[in-house]
Amino acid sequence: MIGSGQMWQGTISEERTTRDYMEGGQQVEISQTIVGSSAEFTVRYPEASNEYLGKTATLDGKARRISELERGEAFTTITLTGSEEAP
């Protein structure tokens, strides 16, 4: 779900992670992709795709930023990114 908008169903990829070393510890950069119906997405989120870039979306209870959003004729692909402190 983007912001406080409606839930959109899609197929979720596995999280991809990279580690960055920073003073005092490590930070993990996380990227995840969701693919679903363009028709359903457009009903729930009718604004232009670029209006959603940088906005917060919630996936599995975790807030991430939308870094890419591509609407095709049949499918929409959204890439979410975020960071966390490494354990």
From first to last of its 87 residues, the chain has per-residue pLDDT tens of: 788 888 898 999 888 888 776 666 777 888 999 999 999 999 999 999 999 999 999 988 889 999 999 999 999 999 999 987 766
**4 is written with which tokens?**
């406080």
φ, ψ for residue 50, nearest 5 deg: -65, -20
3-state class (DSSP) for residue 81: strand
Q: Give which of 16, 20, 54, 47 is closest to 33, Cα–Cα.
A: 16
Biggest alpha carbon–alpha carbon distance for the chain: 46
